[in-house]
Amino acid sequence: MNWHGIAAIYRYEMERTRRTLLQGIVSPVIITCLYFIVFGAAIGSRIDEVQGVSYGAFLVPGLTMFMVLTQSVSYASFGIYFKRFTGTIYELLSAPMSAIEIVIGHVGAAASKSFVLGCIILATAGVFVPLEIQHPGWMLLFLVLTCITFSLLGFIIGIWADGFDKLQFVPLLVITPLVFLGGTFYAIDMLPPFWQTVTLFNPVLYLISGFRWSFYGTGDVSLWASLGMIAVFLGLALVLISWIFHTGYRLKD
Amino acid sequence: MRRECPPVRRERDAISDADEAAAADTRPPVMVDVQGLRKQYHGGFLALRDVSLRIRRGEIFGLLGPNGAGKTTLIHIICGIVTLSAGTVRVAGYDIHRQYRETRRRIGLVPQELTNEAFETVWTTLTYSRGLFGKAADPVYLERLLKDLSLWDKRHSPMMQLSGGMKRRVLIAKALSHEPEILFLDEPTAGVDVDLRRDMWKLVRGLRRRGVTIILTTHYIEEAEEMADRIGVIRDGELILVQDKHELMRSLGSKVVTLELAQPLAHLPEALARLGVECEQGGRTLRYRYSAEGGEAGVDAVLRAVQQAGLTVHDLHTRESSLEQIFVRLVGEQPEEAQ
C-alpha cells in the first residue's frame, strides 16, 4: 500500500475544507438551524408528538441525515472533479497508486468532513431541542456508514460529471427530493396507504429510519432493513467505482 | 607571456560527467523500452503506429514532431495516463501494467499544459506531489529544490498569484519532488522567457550529471540541438528516425560554402558549373552546397577550380544546416503510402 500517497490525498482534500470552511461547514449548519427554527419551533409547536417524541426532536435525525447525505456527495464529487477540471488529475493517474488507494484518500477525506459536519449539526440541534440518543453505538455506525457510502457516490458523480451543473444535479435534484420524501419531516404512517407503499421504494427512507431508531428506538422500517439498504448502497457504489477504474471511464483515454 | 590554445572540446566531453555517473550505476542500461506500441483512441484516431524505441540510461533524448504527431500520447502511455492499444512498454526493466508501482515511482512528468489548482500554495502542492509518489516528507530536499528553481520566496503564495514562468517552474519542481530517475519534459519551455529557458537548460544538465534520464519534447528545435544526445522524429504516429544527434547532423545536414569575388563574373566558368557551383548576386558570389558527410573533397575541388579560373576571392564563409532545417525536411516528406 502507498500510505504516503493516501495521506497526501487526505491532507490535500482536508486542506481544501479549511479554505472553504464557510461554504462547506458553516453554511450547512446555518441552514439546519433555520429548519429547526421554522419547522421545529414555529410550526412544530402546533404539531403533536410523532413516534412518541416532540416534532422538533423527531426532525433531528432526518435533518442531520439530509445534510450528511448532500454534503458527503458534494465534498467527494468536488474533490475529484476539480482535479479533472484543472487537469491536475494527470498527477494522480501517473502516481504509483492503485485505484483503491486513490478512493481511500478522496472518500476518506470527504467522509471525515461530513462526519464532523454531522456531529456539529447534532450538537447544534441540542441547542434547540432536548437530544436523546438511546443507541449511541448504532448511531455512530449509521453515521459513519452513511458518510462513507455517500462519499463513494459523490466520487462517482465527480468522475461522471462533465460540468459544474452536473456536479450539482444529483445532490439537488435527486438526493434532496428523496430526503424530503423519505421521512425527514414526517413518519410514513402519517401518509395515505398508497403513498406509504410508494415511499417504501425510496431508499433514503431506510437510512433515515435506521438513524432515527438509534435515537429514539422507533423507526418507519426495521433496523435490519435499514442496515441492509445501506449495505446495498455501499456494495453498488464499490462495484461502480471498480468498473470505473477497470475501464478508465472518463479518467483515461 | 605565452598564451596557450584551449584544448579541442570533443563532442563526447559534454556528457562525460554522465558517463562517469553511469559507470557506477547498477540500473539497467535501457531505461525505457517501447516495443510495437500502437494507440487508437475511441473515436478511431490512430495516434501511434507500431512505435519501437529504446531510451538509454542517463541520456537526453529529444523527441521531435509536429503538432498532433503523437509525442504527448507516447509520453502519457509510458507514464500511465493513457492506455495503450497494443505493444509493450517497460521502464527500468519493469512492465508498466503489471509492475506499475515500480515504473511510475521512477518517472517524473512536466506536462505541456500549465495545470495547477489555483488556490493551493506552492509548498502544499509540492508536498502533495511527493506524497503521491510514495515518498516520506523531506522538507530539506524540497527547500533545496525550490531554491534551485528560484521559488523559495514564493513557497507560501497561492498558484494563482504566480506568473506563467513561475507556474512552469512549479510544475518542474512537482515533477522532481519525488527524485525521479526518468524525467519527461513535454514542451517545458513553451511560453517562457529567455532567462527561464537558460535556467531550465542548466537544471537539465545538472540532472543528467546526477544520472537522470531525460526525454524532452520541444517546438524549439535549437533546444533539442543544444541539449539532446539522441533525436527521435515522430510523424503521423510513426517514429521515422532515431539517431545520435551528431550523426544526424552529419548524415542529413548540408553545408554551404560561399565565395565572395573581388570582381563580378560575367559567366560562370565551365569547370565550376560542372562541380555544381552556382553564381549569385550578379556574379559577385559563388555558392557551393555539399552534404555534411564527406563533402570535403568537393570543397577542395571547387577551390582549385576557382584558382585555375584566375578568380580573386574577397571573402569566404561556410554555413552548416541546423537541426531545424533537417527536421523541417524530415517532417515535410510525405509518408510512402501517401506518395
Complex prediction ipTM = 0.86
Q: Is A86 on the interface with B (CB under 8 A)?
A: yes
Proportion of chain A in helix, strand, coil states, percent, rounded to 5: 80, 0, 20
User: Please, is A189 exposed, middle or buried when counting C-beta atoms within 10 Å of its C-beta (0-12, 13-18, 19+)?
Assistant: exposed
Contact A95 B81 (CB under 8 A): no
Residue B276, C-alpha cell as written in the block: 555544381
Name residue B319's beta-bridge partners: B256
Q: How confident is the model at residue B202 (pLDDT cuts 50, 70, 90)?
A: confident
Q: Which candidate, B86, B78, B68, B87, places its Cα nearest to that of B234?
A: B68
Please give the average per-residue pLDDT across B264-269, as a whole number. Answer: 86
Give me the residue spans of the domains in chain A: 3-247
Contact B134 A4 (CB under 8 A): yes
Whether residues B230 and B263 share a domain: the answer is no
Task: Give domain status of residue B326, yes or no.
Answer: no
Concatenate the DSSP letters of all residues of B216-270 into one string. EE-S-HHHHHHH-SEEEEEETTEEEEEEEHHHHHHHH-EEEEEEEESS--SS--H
pLDDT(A248) > 50: yes
CATH number for B113: 3.40.50.300
Full residue range of the structural domain in which residue B195 is found: 11-249
Contact A96 B113 (CB under 8 A): no
Contact A2 B101 (CB under 8 A): yes
**Å from B149 to nearest chain A CA?**
20
**Å from A165 to nearest chain B CA?**
20
pLDDT(B203) > 60: yes
Residues of chain B with C-beta less than 8 angstroms from the C-beta of A83:
117
Residues of chain A with C-beta less than 8 angstroms from the C-beta of B167:
none
Whether residues B260 and B237 share a domain: the answer is no
Task: Give domain status of residue B114, yes or no.
Answer: yes
Q: How confident is the model at residue B14 (pLDDT cuts 50, 70, 90)?
A: very low
Whether residues B230 and B310 share a domain: the answer is no
Q: Is A23 on the interface with B (CB under 8 A)?
A: no
Please give the average per-residue pLDDT across B108-127, as a whole number. Answer: 91
Task: Give domain status of residue B94, yes or no.
Answer: yes
Please give the average per-residue pLDDT across A28-48, as a whole number. Answer: 81
Whether residues B98 and B211 share a domain: the answer is yes
Give the number of beta-carbon pairs within 8 Å between A and B: 86
Task: Give domain status of residue B331, yes or no.
Answer: no
Give the percent of chain B with pLDDT over 70: 88
CATH number for B276: 3.30.70
Whether residues B53 and B194 share a domain: the answer is yes
Q: How confident is the model at residue B226 (pLDDT cuts 50, 70, 90)?
A: confident
Q: What are phi and psi of B90, to 5 degrees?
A: -120, 140
The tally of domains found in chain B comes to 2
**HSE value, Cβ hemisphere, 13 Å, CA-based, for A252:** 23
Q: Is A180 on the interface with B (CB under 8 A)?
A: no
Measured at the CA of A187, the angle between CA A182 and CA A191, to 5 degrees, comes to 85
Task: Give domain status of residue B1, yes or no.
Answer: no
**pLDDT tens-digit readout, A213-247:** 999 988 888 999 999 999 999 999 999 999 998 88
Whether residues B286 and B197 share a domain: the answer is no
